[in-house]
Amino acid sequence: MNLNIKELSNGIRIVHQEVSHTRLVHCGFILNIGSRDETKEQEGLAHFWEHMAFKGTQKRKTFHILNRLESLGGELNAYTTKEKVCFYASTLKEHYPKAADLLFDITFNSTFPQKQIEKERQVILEEMAMYRDSPEDSIQDELDELVFENHALGRNILGTEETVGSFSHQDFIDFISSRLDTSQIVFSVVGNISFKNALKIIEGPLQEIQSKRSLYVRNGFHTYQPKTKIVERDVTQSLCAIGRPAYSLHDPNRYKLFLLNNILGGPSMNSRLNLSLRERHGYVYSIESSYSPFSDTGFFGVYFGTEDKTLKKAQALVMKEMAKLQQKKLGTVQLHMAKEQAIGQMAMAEENYSGLMLVYGKSLLDHSKVDPLESIFGQIKNTSAEELQEIANEIFNPENMSFLTYKPQ
């Protein structure tokens, strides 16, 4: 893997991997701040910050930020999750200095001009309306609210109309000041550039950032109660979401659950849910299950849409496939094929260098190290059929599942 990691005196870390057979460099800042770190009154502020980073710095206006890399064929982007804010870019290797300088500027020198806040407020309200008009998206957010009720993990990353409509310049300053911790910031670089040259551009500016430690501690989630909710909506088919809390980022079973989820309803067409509900019965166009680990808990969910008349049959088939994994161990050949499939998917993901750059940064924040892919492969290969069955009995227990259904009005 040949990773280079350097920690600066202020706690900011730099992780780098040189890849010689590409013309590109992918780089970005990953900050261990997300929507779960907001108070209820701040709901949506981290995501709004992500937007505002492009709206002006101490030395650049919006046009100069947006034009800096795009005019060179590069890409500048950002995203917000429950636990992270990321600002990142991809560009030809000769333009890496411009990309690194721009990312540094928008991450640390944003000015949050009130005039731009008013403009972007409307953009985010439109984004919220777009998600509300997409039941496939909104049902996932609403299931989060159901599973993580009365907790920040259950709140919508976009916020509410009330909170988004209330934010001012000072709100951004106060939020970042209270949550920013230089030991929880990573600059990640993957591409055709040496570690020496990558450092040459970014190390100096990063060293000038004053060391800062935050006293803030995340509020853990410990109050889950299974729930069932049916909502009538303007939809043409019934949509169903099934979920519950799962293993955290630090749980030794997380890779085993990743493997089990892949078998049940992962991205491949031969997942058990796809074969049963789509190929055998024709009840759904698509169905998927997902597993998302967080720092102190996790989330497992299943999502599908079907005609209202086949809803109960489809739900029963989902629970049947989960029950099979609970009741019967995988055979030797089945287990081997499942492992090979998961390992192959991970290996292919490694070819996406932009995604890999982000994975390195998040791993360093979450685990203070980056596990070689071979180590992860080893954990998957060493997983036994008995272990998967034990996890299935714990995670797929129907008594601990929450059910959310959108039904046509």
What tens-digit pLDDT sequence spans the chain (409 residues)? Answer: 689 999 999 999 999 999 999 999 999 999 999 999 999 999 999 999 999 999 999 999 999 999 999 999 999 999 999 999 999 999 999 999 999 999 999 999 999 999 999 999 999 999 999 988 899 889 999 999 999 999 999 999 999 999 999 999 999 999 999 999 999 999 999 999 999 999 999 999 999 999 999 999 999 999 999 999 999 998 999 999 999 999 999 999 999 999 999 999 999 999 999 999 999 999 999 999 999 999 999 999 999 999 999 999 999 999 999 999 999 999 999 999 999 999 999 999 888 999 999 999 999 999 999 999 899 999 999 999 999 999 999 999 999 999 999 999 8
Q: Are 239 and 189 part of one and the same domain?
A: no
Angle at Cα 307 formed by Cα 232 and Cα 269, nearest 5°?
A: 120
pTM value is: 0.94
**Alpha carbon distance 352, 88 (integer Å):** 14
CATH number of the domain at 268, please.
3.30.830.10
Q: Are 326 and 186 part of one and the same domain?
A: no
* Assigned domain for 356 exists: yes
Domain count, the chain: 2
Q: Are 176 and 233 part of one and the same domain?
A: no
* Assigned domain for 193 exists: yes
Secondary structure of residue 271 in the 3-state scheme = coil
**Alpha carbon distance 227, 404 (integer Å):** 8
Q: Which residues span the domain enclosing 334?
A: 228-408
Q: Are 183 and 236 part of one and the same domain?
A: no
- 194-217 in b/e form (b: 16+ CB < 10 A) is ebeebbebbeeebeebeeeebeee
Q: Are 182 and 241 part of one and the same domain?
A: no
